[in-house]
């Protein structure tokens, strides 16, 4: 058997140019423009099908995170704030170099995001990652662009209860204009993502009232087997509860699911939040 011919034939079938001994040089004109990135099986992402919890501030996302993190197959880290993890090409030479590789600052940024998630996931020893930074709601399009197989969980809470919770944290009036504007901006972005992408919707009120039913639904969405131990999140290590990377209140530190406060009465719902309260079913139609 002529092993060299066998190898060359296999390379030719795979699409590679193989020059035979004595054959004339290729007349293919030299390539112009940047080369395309080298194809990697499955793309150039290290993380497959990451899941993102899209939510507002003060919506119970830390509770949902630690419940998911208590599953044997899920790692749900503290907030990673990918929105503010960026790449800066500081010289034109760097831009030219990356362009030749088919990359720009945005493409490099996505590689960095993917590497950060992969590092966290690899250290956990688990196969699936769910990330929950609230400001991710403003970059749902970019998350899907970075990971075309990304999945979304939409976490809803009564908008006026969100405003009340945030105001209590700041020792402020829930109806104050800047507080209402902030919550409305998050709610609008969340609703826009819900209308744009498929996903699974969870309500904070239902999560705290009937956690087993809700978390069974989340497990079904993620293709996971239900594990009752998920509800005992205080039995697991979820990292430190610190400001800026999740809820750090005494309530979450109890390690047990707490019932939510009653919803704000109609007269305490800020005018600017009533349309979204109605849209999400927290107010009957016509009361907003």
pTM of the model: 0.83
pLDDT confidence of residue 46: 96
Report the C-alpha gap between 129 and 75 in whole angstroms: 5
DSSP helix/strand/coil, 95:
helix
pLDDT confidence of residue 29: 54
Which pairing describes strands 151-156 and 74-75: parallel, antiparallel, or unpaired?
unpaired
pLDDT confidence of residue 103: 87
Is residue 184 within 8 A of residue 273, CB to CB? The reply is yes
Report the C-alpha gap between 105 and 116 in whole angstroms: 16
Would you give per-residue pLDDT tens digits along the chain (288 residues)? 554 555 455 445 544 445 555 555 445 455 555 554 443 444 689 999 999 999 999 999 999 999 999 999 999 999 999 999 999 889 988 889 888 888 899 999 999 999 999 999 999 999 999 999 999 999 999 999 999 999 999 999 999 999 999 888 776 777 788 999 999 999 999 999 999 999 999 999 999 999 999 999 999 999 999 999 999 999 999 999 999 999 999 999 999 999 888 999 999 999 999 999 999 999 987 654
Is residue 280 within 8 A of residue 156, CB to CB? The reply is yes
CATH number of 49-279: 3.40.50.300
pLDDT confidence of residue 168: 83
């Amino acid at each position: 058997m002529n092993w060299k011919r066998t190898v060359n034939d296999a390379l030719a079938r795979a699409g590679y140019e193989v020059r035979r001994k004595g054959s004339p040089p290729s007349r293919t004109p030299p390539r112009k423009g940047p080369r395309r990135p080298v194809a990697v099986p499955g793309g150039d992402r290290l993380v497959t099908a990451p899941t993102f919890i899209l939510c507002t501030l003060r919506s119970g996302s830390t509770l949902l995170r630690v419940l998911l993190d208590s599953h044997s197959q899920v790692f749900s880290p503290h907030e990673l704030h990918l929105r503010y993890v960026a790449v800066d090409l500081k010289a034109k030479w760097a831009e030219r170099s990356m362009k030749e590789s088919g990359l720009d600052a945005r493409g490099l940024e996505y590689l960095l995001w993917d590497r950060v998630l992969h590092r966290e996931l690899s250290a956990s020893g688990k196969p699936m990652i769910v990330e929950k930074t609230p400001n991710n709601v403003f970059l749902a399009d970019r998350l899907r662009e970075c990971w075309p197989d990304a999945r979304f969980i939409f976490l809803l809470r009564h908008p006026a209860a969100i405003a009340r919770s945030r105001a209590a944290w700041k020792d402020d009036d829930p109806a104050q204009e800047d507080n209402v504007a902030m919550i409305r901006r998050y709610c609008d972005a969340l609703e826009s993502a819900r209308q744009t992408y498929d996903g699974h919707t969870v309500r904070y009120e239902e999560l705290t009232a009937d956690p087993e039913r809700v978390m069974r639904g989340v497990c079904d969405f993620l293709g996971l087997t239900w594990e009752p131990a998920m509800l005992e999140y205080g039995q697991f290590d979820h990292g430190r509860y610190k400001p800026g990377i999740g809820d750090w209140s005494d309530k979450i530190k109890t390690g047990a699911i707490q019932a939510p406060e009653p919803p704000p009465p109609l007269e305490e719902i800020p005018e600017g939040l009533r349309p979204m309260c109605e849209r999400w079913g927290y107010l009957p139609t016509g009361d907003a």
